Structure 1
Amino acid sequence: MQISRPVRPALLSLAILAATAWSGAAAAAAPLIPPQGYSAPIEKMKTGDHNFSCAAIPQPYTGALVFRSKYEGSDKARATLNEAAEKAFRNATQDITDLERGVSKVVMQYMRDGRPEQLDCALNILTTWARAGALESQEFNHTGKSMRKWALGSMSAAYLRLKFSDSRPLANHQQQAQEIEAWFSKLGDLVISDWSNLPLEKINNHSYWAAWSVMATAVATNRRDLFDWAVKEFRVAANQVSPEGFLPNEMKRRQRALAYHNYALPPLAMVASFARANGVDLRQENNAALQRLAQRVLEGVRDPDEFADRGGEKQDMTDLKKDPKFAWLEPYCSLYTCDAQVLEEKHEKQPFKTFRLGGDLTRVYDPNHDRDNQ
Structure 2
Amino acid sequence: MSTEDPRQLPRAWRALIPATVLGLIGTPVLNAAECPTEGLRAPLGYYQIPEPRDSGSYNCEMVPPHTGDMDFTSKYEGSDSARNELNEAAYQEYLAASEKIRTFEKELIAAADDYQVDGDGPAARDCVLANLEEWANADALLPENINHVGQAVRKWALAASANAYLRVKLSSGETALDQDRMARIEDWFSRVVDGVRGYYTDREPRKVNNHDYWAAWAVMSASVATNNCGDWSWSLAKFDEAMGQITADGYLPKELSREDRALEYLNYAMQPLTLLAVFAEVNDTPAYGENREQFFKLAQNVVDGLEDPSLIAEINGHEQITKGLYTGWGLAWLRPWTETWGGLSGMASFLDEYGPMKSTRLGGDIEFLYGVEPLWPDGTDPYPPFDLRIDGQTTNG
TM range (shorter): 0.7 to 0.9
Q: Structure 1: which amino acid aligns with 2:139?
A: G
Match of residue 359 from structure 2? 354
How far has the Cα of 1:74 moved from its partner?
Answer: 0.6
- 2:333 pairs, out of 310, 328, 336, with 328
Match of residue 262 from structure 1? 267
Match of residue 151 from structure 2? 145
Q: What TM-score do you get using the length of structure 1 for normalisation?
A: 0.87
* 3-state SS, counterpart of residue 70 of structure 2: coil
Query: For residues 325 and 122 of structure 2, what CA distance do their matches in structure 1 show?
Result: 38
Q: CA-to-partner distance for each residue in 1:81-132, whole Å, 9 max, x for gaps?
A: 0000000000000000010000000110011214222122211111000000
- 1:36 pairs, out of 35, 38, 44, with 44
Q: Structure 1: which amino acid aligns with 2:119?
A: D
Conserved in 1, the CA contact under 8 Å of 2:246 and 2:294?
yes
Q: Structure 2: which amino acid aligns with 1:297?
A: V
Conserved in 1, the CA contact under 8 Å of 2:52 and 2:120?
yes
1:131 and 2:137 aligned: yes
Q: Which moved more, 1:104-113 or 1:341-350?
A: 341-350
- 1:162 pairs, out of 148, 163, 168, with 168
1:49 and 2:56 aligned: yes
Q: Structure 2: which amino acid aligns with 1:155?
A: S
Conserved in 1, the CA contact under 8 Å of 2:219 and 2:235?
yes
* 3-state SS, counterpart of residue 323 of structure 1: coil
Alignment of 1:1-374 (within 5 A): 25=33, 27-46=35-54, 49-50=56-57, 52-55=58-61, 57-111=62-116, 112-165=118-171, 167-168=172-173, 171-339=176-344, 341-367=346-372
Q: CA separation of 1:66/1:170 partners in 2, compared to 1, >3 Å: closer, same or farther? A: farther
Conserved in 2, the CA contact under 8 Å of 1:162 and 1:169?
no
Conserved in 2, the CA contact under 8 Å of 1:259 and 1:319?
no
* 3-state SS, counterpart of residue 290 of structure 1: helix
Conserved in 1, the CA contact under 8 Å of 2:303 and 2:346?
no
How far has the Cα of 1:200 moved from its partner?
Answer: 1.3
Q: CA separation of 1:109/1:244 partners in 2, compared to 1, >3 Å: closer, same or farther? A: same
Query: For residues 34 and 249 of structure 2, what CA distance do their matches in structure 1 show?
Result: 38
Larger Rg: 1
Q: CA separation of 1:170/1:196 partners in 2, compared to 1, >3 Å: closer, same or farther? A: farther
4+ runs deviating over 6 angstroms: 21-24
Q: Which moved more, 1:241-250 or 1:284-293?
A: 284-293
Conserved in 2, the CA contact under 8 Å of 1:100 and 1:155?
yes
* 3-state SS, counterpart of residue 38 of structure 1: helix
Q: CA-to-partner distance for each residue in 1:47-90, whole Å, 9 max, x for gaps?
A: x514x3112x2221112210000000011110000000000000
Query: For residues 287 and 211 of structure 1, what CA distance do their matches in structure 2 show?
Result: 18
Q: Structure 2: which amino acid aligns with 1:199?
A: E
Q: Which moved more, 1:170-179 or 1:64-73?
A: 170-179
Q: Which moved more, 1:236-245 or 1:92-101?
A: 236-245
How far has the Cα of 1:44 moved from its partner?
Answer: 2.2
Q: CA RMSD in A?
A: 2.3
How far has the Cα of 1:139 moved from its partner?
Answer: 2.0
Conserved in 2, the CA contact under 8 Å of 1:184 and 1:217?
yes
Query: For residues 100 and 233 of structure 1, what CA distance do their matches in structure 2 show?
Result: 24
* 3-state SS, counterpart of residue 251 of structure 2: coil
Match of residue 25 from structure 2? none
How far has the Cα of 1:323 moved from its partner?
Answer: 2.5
How far has the Cα of 1:319 moved from its partner?
Answer: 2.8
Q: Structure 2: which amino acid aligns with 1:179?
A: R
Q: CA separation of 1:136/1:157 partners in 2, compared to 1, >3 Å: closer, same or farther? A: same
Conserved in 2, the CA contact under 8 Å of 1:291 and 1:336?
no
Conserved in 1, the CA contact under 8 Å of 2:44 and 2:372?
no
Conserved in 2, the CA contact under 8 Å of 1:269 and 1:290?
no
Q: Structure 1: which amino acid aligns with 2:201?
A: S
Q: CA-to-partner distance for each residue in 1:309-362, whole Å, 9 max, x for gaps?
A: 222211001132222101111221133221474224323322211111121111
Query: For residues 104 and 279 of structure 1, what CA distance do their matches in structure 2 show?
Result: 27
Query: For residues 72 and 20 of structure 1, what CA distance do their matches in structure 2 show?
Result: 46
How far has the Cα of 1:366 moved from its partner?
Answer: 2.1
Q: Structure 2: which amino acid aligns with 1:200?
A: P
Structure 1 portions without partners, runs of 5+: 1-18
Larger proportion of helix: 1
Query: For residues 129 and 335 of structure 2, what CA distance do their matches in structure 1 show?
Result: 27
Give the percent of matched residue pairs that are identical in Structure 1 and Structure 2. 36
* 3-state SS, counterpart of residue 143 of structure 2: coil
* 3-state SS, counterpart of residue 44 of structure 1: coil
Query: For residues 197 and 279 of structure 2, what CA distance do their matches in structure 1 show?
Result: 18
* 3-state SS, counterpart of residue 291 of structure 2: coil
Q: CA-to-partner distance for each residue in 1:126-168, whole Å, 9 max, x for gaps?
A: 1000000000113211100001100001000111111111x42
* 3-state SS, counterpart of residue 69 of structure 2: coil
Query: For residues 31 and 81 of structure 1, what CA distance do their matches in structure 2 show?
Result: 44
Q: CA separation of 1:114/1:234 partners in 2, compared to 1, >3 Å: closer, same or farther? A: same
